[in-house]
Amino acid sequence: MAETLTDYEQLAADALPQHIYDFVAGGSGSETTLSRNRAALDAITLTPRMLAGVAEPDLSCTLLGLQSTMPVAVAPMAYQRLLHPEGELLLASAAATAGIPFVISTLSSFPLEKIAACGPTWFQLYWLRDRALITSLVDRAAEAGCGALLVTVDVPVMGRRLRDVRNSFALPPDVVAANIVDMVTEAHSAVPGLSAVAAHTASAFEPAVSWDDLEWLRRTTQLPLVVKGILDPRDARRVIDLGADGVVVSNHGGRQFDGAPASIDALGPVVDAVGNDCTVLLDSGVRSGLDVLRALALGASGVLVGRPLLWALAVDAVDEALGLLRQEVWDAMLLAGCADLAAVGELTTGRA
């Protein structure tokens, strides 16, 4: 039984083969950004308010047009069948039961249409070299009822994830990128001293993706468009000026550019640059209800949670994990004297 979201990591570590645990847990390079995410979140203080007269805080919000029971969505994460035979279908159904959005990865291991049928979803797009494939994925996502498009821009190439290199990590035969099955399958071919998923990314993803491409995407789709992987306030401003609806302040959970700042440290300047008329989500290192409050107090509209939900998936505990997170947000709001999320945004923040 888990008492906090972080407890699922050890339970999953006991249940999973080492190379799969490492693929999920790992970051890039010497994992400095990975550990910085946690250190920076832990350093944020929130000053609680007293005598607020609150017994039942209101956690609900609207995120990119979707009603959500709390300011949390499930981060897009590839290949969830690595963790559980029902993968994305199980986690998306749990998100629907919990009343929060689920983000479908381009590299999901079930077809996006099957996942979208489980509940409210957004679709995450990777910039593939094949433009026709991008158009077809965007059309399929809209057709399947995904409520928004999150385009991830921090993977021109995959960060060098040394755990995967050391493990010569490759996908098992039964785990495929179900949305793009016709594509090259080198992700399955183990090569000593290489990560096969990194090799696949290198051949499938367009490294030279640019602002022109983003403008094209904005013109191509009517869906709300959010750009994931933004850290610099100048990039954030430009994304919004170009007509996008929001940004995800993210360093990809420390898996891409090692040396990047913690997302939570990048958040404030981004919020200052874009103002209040767009959606600013945050991910990377969120592990508790308290972290959710920290992000909102620093100006986020909501957060994406990644690895803890994959750990819970591995031990068949996704409903429990989402229930635990909701309880933590509730408790933190009561202790901080917040009747609703607007009050969380008014809390005084500091750095310990």
Q: Give the integer Cα–Cα distance in Å for 46 and 347.
A: 6
Which among 72-80, 86-94, 164-172, 173-181 is the span making contact with ligand FNR, rule CB under 6 A? 72-80
State in angstroms the smallest separation of the CB of 228 from ligand FNR: 5
Collapsed DSSP state (helix, strand, coil) of residue 103: strand
Q: Considering the rule CB under 6 A, would residue 99 count as an interface residue with ligand FNR?
A: no
Q: Which stretch binds ligand FNR (CB under 6 A): 9-17, 71-79, 267-275, 291-299?
A: 71-79
Q: Distance between alpha carbon 306 and the CA centroid of its chain, in Å?
A: 5
Taking CB under 6 A as the rule, which mask of x and - marks residues 260-289 in contact with ligand FNR?
-----------------------xxxx---
- The maximal CA–CA distance of the chain, rounded, in angstroms, is 62
Please return the burial class of 17, using the count of CB atoms within 10 Å of its CB with bins 0-12, 13-18 and 19+: exposed
Parallel, antiparallel or unpaired: strands 302-305 and 121-126: unpaired
Annotation says 84 is catalytic: no
Q: Which is nearer to ligand FNR, 307 or 347 (CB)?
A: 307
Given CA atoms 130, 136, 138, 144 in this order, what sign does their dihedral have? negative
Query: For 153, which DSSP code?
Result: -
Closer CB to ligand FNR, residue 93 or residue 284?
284
Calculate helix-pair angle for 263-274, 32-43, nearest 10 degrees.
Answer: 70
* Near ligand FNR by CB under 6 A: residue from 57, 71, 76, 87: 76
Identify the residue among 305, 329, 341, 347 touching ligand FNR (CB under 6 A): 305
Q: In the range 144-163, which residues lie near ligand FNR by CB under 6 A?
A: 152
How far is 46 from 173, CA to CA, in rounded Å?
47
By annotation, the residues acting in catalysis are: 252
Q: Which residues bind ligand FNR (CB under 6 A)?
A: 24, 75-78, 105, 107, 124, 152, 228, 250, 252-253, 255, 283-286, 305-307
